[in-house]
Structure 1
Amino acid sequence: MVEVKKVLNNNVVITIDPSYKEVILIGKGIGFNKKVGQTINADAAEKVFRLEDQKEQDKYKQLLPYLDEDFITFMHDVLSLIESKMGKIINEHIHIGLTDHIAFAIKRAREGIYIKNPFLVETEALYHQEYKVAKDIVAMIQKYSGVDLPEGEIGMIALHIHSSVTDRNLSELNQYSKLVFHLIQMIEEGLEIKLDRDSINYYRLVQHIRHAIERAKSGSYTKDQAILANVLKKEYPLCYNLAWKIVKVMQKTIQKPVDESEVVYLTIHLQRLLD
């Protein structure tokens, strides 16, 4: 049994559990005629929602009054899907961030306002599993609301998912997508080619750049590649020089040193694209 602290609506109640922590209970009619101070059986709830971070919990409670009762329940189905497909949610901000994002996306779509996502292809290549789950969520949204969200929303939802299971900041993930997008443009211009966004080569290139960024972020370097670097510099000067330009842009953007071995690996990758 838990004590009622606040009734938000007929289906959502904020309670205090025996350890004096706030717990949000969600269930059809669970808040009907309930008063502050009454006890309620937590087992009667369809969903029990606990946020460990007090700041996130406060933000979530501020958001709840602006949401329809059935939408709150729907969002918990969405979050349950994410956990079942991706594993435990680490970054609790998704409860506020994704809930707010989807509610606003539905509102925008109903008003005929669509936002273009220029990094959609890069997001799909960078976060392939999250993208697949996001597609399922967009299908759920269509079934729930009758609204068809634009394809760009899949990419945005995918970033929220990746942020939630890796505990990485959304602004950092957006920076990654923009950086990859910019580097791809540099490669196309430098090699005078047009990459097929649906090809396996494009997917491999994006993944290669992603791992290079992550290695720089974590400071994990490989063994010295000076001998191979000299060979590549002579054999493939175009790709070698372009690889150095890319590494310099990467360093400037993420504010971390990028190991010289990345130039070697990138040169080989670029030459493969040309071949």
Structure 2
Amino acid sequence: MSHRGEKGVDVDVLRVFNNNVVLARDGDREVILTGRGIGFQAKPGQHVDDAKIVRRFIPVDGKDPDHMAQQVAGIPPEIIRLVTDAMNRTGLKEQADKQPTLVMALADHICGAIQRAQRKQNIEYPLEAEVRSLYADEYAKGVAMVDAMNTYLGGALPRSEAVALALHLVNAGFSGGDLSATYTMTGIIQQMIAVIEGAYGITLAQDSVNVARFITHLRYLFVRIHQHEQLDDEPQPIIESIKTSYPKACQCARQLAVVVKMRLGSDLTEAEIAYLALHVARVTNGVNRQVD
């Protein structure tokens, strides 16, 4: 029984990585297929047995299919299935379908978490408080995923694993690499909030809507910096109007730009600083000062 791809062409084996992972040709693209025994005695050129396919990964963003398949081969297929099922049950089906690197990162983490649970080792994540406040949506999804997987694992995963899962979800929208960029971003956001609080003599409620919007703006700003695509085409009259209307916020935004320069080595454009000032003005509006 051969499997036919979306275009009605046979899916053929290109390379066998182990009994459970093969690289295959589906029309004009290469795909990674997983499933128990899918690679057993398979040879390049053979058709893939549809009944054995459990999961299909389509490399995106220029990812090397061979390297990605090698990563998948190191993860038991039942763990990949566990993670994708949990993602589907917690509203993350689109990410599971379109971001194979996220699925692999989560599955790899869960492998380690299960092994730690079997050894009765419990990890305390130092960023738990920050993740709860800065990435509330991702943390909620992380908790839901832990709960979903625990229905199959008999409660083996501690609730604290939701912190790590949340960081992986944040990372998926920011960087294709490891979590180091997300850890850095988290620290910078905390520092920038502290700069605003110091400049205005206030304490910001990190669970407020305006702070959440500000954090979202910062996250997209970091993506633009990472991709070298800062905003730089706003008409000068708009920028000047912001400077005139929000002088204190603009002064604070320039302090934040210094933080970005020191931490990321990137100078912010005048347009980015202006929009940063707008968010500073919004996030500080109506917040009671600690000192007059």
TM-score by length of 1: 0.71
Secondary structure of 2:135's match?
Answer: helix
- Provide the residue aligned with 1:262 in structure 2: 275
- Could you tell me how far apart the structure 2 residues matched to 1:116 and 1:17 are? 44
Q: Distance in 1 between matches of 2:275 and 2:23?
A: 53
Kept after mapping to 1: 8 A contact 2:210/2:282: no
Rounded Cα–Cα distance in structure 1 between residues aligned with 2:113 and 2:200? 38
| Residues 1:43 and 2:57 are matched in the alignment | no
- Note the C-alpha offset of 1:202: 2.6
Would you say the 8 A contact 1:86–1:165 is kept in 2? no
Q: Distance in 2 between matches of 1:214 and 1:37?
A: 42
Partner of 2:113: 105
Tell me whether 1:219 sits opposite 2:230 in the alignment.
yes
1:126-147 per-position Cα deviation (integer Å, ceiling 9, x unaligned): xx3x444333211122212222
- Please, which moves more after superposition, 137-146 or 105-114? 105-114
Q: Say if 1:4 and 1:15, in contact at 8 Å, map to a contact too.
A: yes
Matches within 5 A, 1:192-211: 192-211=201-220
How far apart are 1:243 and its partner, in Å? 2.9
Q: Distance in 1 between matches of 2:126 and 2:254?
A: 32
Measure how far apart 1:164 and its partner are.
4.0
Q: CA deviation digits over 1:162-199, x for unaligned, max 9?
A: 44466643433332222111111222333333222322
Cα distance in 2 for partners of 1:15, 1:263 equals: 45
- Residues 50 and 89 of structure 1: is their aligned pair in 2 closer, same or farther, counting only changes over 3 Å? closer
C-alpha distance in structure 1 between counterparts of 2:254 and 2:26, whole Å: 60
How many angstroms does 1:95 deviate by?
4.1
Does residue 146 of structure 2 align to residue 138 of structure 1?
yes
Q: How far, CA to CA, are the matches of 2:79 and 2:26 in structure 1?
A: 29
Which residue of 114, 119, 122 maps to 2:124? Answer: 114
Q: Is the 8 Å Cα contact of residues 114 and 150 (structure 1) preserved in structure 2? A: no
Which residue of 185, 200, 215 corresponds with 1:191? 200
Give the alignment of 1:1-275 within 5 angstroms: 1=2, 8=18, 12=20, 14=22, 23-27=32-36, 30=37, 35=41, 42-45=49-52, 47-50=54-57, 52=59, 53-61=65-73, 63-64=74-75, 67=76, 70-78=78-86, 84-86=93-95, 88-90=97-99, 92-109=100-117, 110-118=120-128, 119-125=130-136, 128=137, 130-145=138-153, 146-151=155-160, 153-164=161-172, 168-169=176-177, 170-214=179-223, 217-221=228-232, 222-224=234-236, 225-233=239-247, 237=248, 239-258=249-268, 259=270, 260-262=273-275, 264-274=277-287
Which one is further off, 39-48 or 177-186? 39-48
Question: Following the alignment from structure 2 to structure 1, what is the Cα–Cα distance between the partners of residues 240 and 283?
Answer: 18
**Secondary structure, in 3 states, of the residue corresponding to 1:205?**
helix
* Structure 2: 5+ residue stretches without partners: 3-11, 60-64
Residue correspondences, number: 257
Question: 1:189 corresponds to which letter in structure 2?
Answer: G
The answer on whether the counterparts of 2:210 and 2:283 sit within 8 Å (CA) in structure 1 is: no
Counterpart amino acid of residue 43 in structure 1: D
What's the TM-score, normalizing by structure 2?
A: 0.68
Q: Is the 8 A contact 2:197 2:203 kept in 1?
A: yes
- Give the 3-state SS of the residue equivalent to 1:218 in structure 2: coil
Which consecutive residues of structure 1, in runs of 5 or more, have no partner in the other structure? none
Deviation at 1:77, TM superposition (A): 2.4
In 2, Cα distance between the equivalents of 1:208 and 1:7?
42
Cα distance in structure 1, aligned partners of 2:165 and 2:278: 32
Q: Distance in 2 between matches of 1:240 and 1:50?
A: 46
Whether the 8 Å CA contact 1:183–1:246 is kept in 2: the answer is yes
